[in-house]
Chain A
Amino acid sequence: MLPHPDFSDMAATLIDTTRVSRTPDQPWCDLGNEVVVLRVQDSTYYRFEDSARAIWLLLDEPRRVDELTSVLASEYEDAGRSMVGDVTAFLTRCADLGLVSHDATDG
């Protein structure tokens, strides 16, 4: 069974001004309705759909967490803290896996 990560109970460790980017040379592809990321360390596939896919595609350049949240809120009509929590939890988990990197500087 391939992992399909559940980020719902992940603690958010990033702050709004943290700048996030995809890890360089990270193999990934867009299948149209989902993004598939290959974690080369253990050859594990991660599948991102819906808002997770949207976040990944937005990371075509380094972006701040609050910027990502704002774009997603407008796209999914879901303003408020729950969106911030979901975005930061997702990005934190991706960072733990080495799929994205981040700094804490205010850009």
Chain B
Amino acid sequence: MRLQYLRSLPATWRAHGLSFSQLVESDADVRFAFRAAPLRLDVPTREHRDRDARPGDWLLRLAPDQRLRATGGRLITVDVAPDVDERELVRWVIGATTTAILYQRRLVPLHASAVVIDGSLVAFLAPSNVGKSSLAAACVAEGAVAFADDTLAVHRGDGVVPASPPGWTQLRVPAATWTSLDPTAFRVLREESDGTRIVHSAPPVADDALPLAALFLLQIGDRLEVERLTPFDLLTRLRGLLSRPSLSRPLGVETGVFSSLGQIAAQVPAWRIMRPAGEASLPAVSAIVRRSLHMHAHDAPTPGLQ
């Protein structure tokens, strides 16, 4: 007997401009199949201890008898026992597996959280545990709308402004950040045992793709510092800020992804922001983001720190 349904996910949902469905009969963009997956892929372009990949196909081995597979950008195969830790499983489904689907669909998944500020889509890029979600939440508390948490998919295409559909719009707000925010700006979906809140902004975002207005690359350091990045500086940093960057090459999309990163670097203004760890610096960073957006829109130099 194998698992037949992911109870902690809805029957259908939308993320990254795609419809996902666990229902047997569905015309969703991405369907789920709860059935046997192979132990290994035939002729993978990359073999790893716990995963194989080849163009259009990706297989993750969570345990000797637990497997997830993403095929053709359209199908997620779940082959796990019913007693699996479903919360852990769902993290793999909406994380690595969905990222593989995005690459297979020629989308560029950035490791980013994003908000809409006064109609402009702004993305915060950083490795894990640097405060992407916390900064997004701080912006939402000041009137922004949550747009994506952890992964932001960017459309690829010649001659078009890089644009993104809403991602997973629930923000994970750490307990320490939550206590520093105005709670009326959020709808709390649930609270986890460590005090982390899973929240939506109120009101939620519309389902339309928006052009990328600005990127902010976040770092933790000993002081507050902001720097406008050149397109080349941005390009070289963006490659390391893809969501699961090691997937793009074995999936056969590295060349296209790099070209798309070039389009983003050439067309989207970007800043590097270093801030001290902790919640105290979040309001200042949120203010820098707003001022940078405003001054760029009015063709003024990057704001200095006060």
Contact = CB atoms under 8 A, between A and B. Distances in A.
Select the residue from A28, A29, A30, A36 with max chain B CB neighbours within 10 A.
A29
A27 B235 contact: no
A47 B232 contact: yes
A29 B236 contact: no
B254 A29 contact: no
Contacts of A28: 255, 258-259, 262
Contact of A27 (B231, B236, B259, B266): B259
B232 A27 contact: no
B68 interface: no
Nearest to B259: A29
Given A38-B258, A40-B249, A40-B254, A29 B232 contact: no
A47 B265 CA distance: 14
B263 interface: yes
A23 to B, nearest CB: 10
Given A32-B231, A36-B235, A40-B249, A27 B265 contact: no
Contact of B263 (A2, A29, A45): A29
B266 A30 contact: yes
Contact of B232 (A25, A26, A36, A40): A36
Contacts of B249: 40
Given A28-B259, A36-B262, 20 more contacts: A26-B255, A27-B254, A27-B258, A27-B259, A28-B255, A29-B262, A29-B265, A29-B266, A30-B262, A30-B266, A31-B231, A31-B235, A31-B262, A31-B266, A32-B231, A40-B249, A40-B254, A45-B235, A45-B236, A47-B232
Interface of B: 231-232, 235-236, 239, 249, 254-255, 257-263, 265-266
Interface of A: 2, 25-32, 34, 36, 38, 40, 45, 47
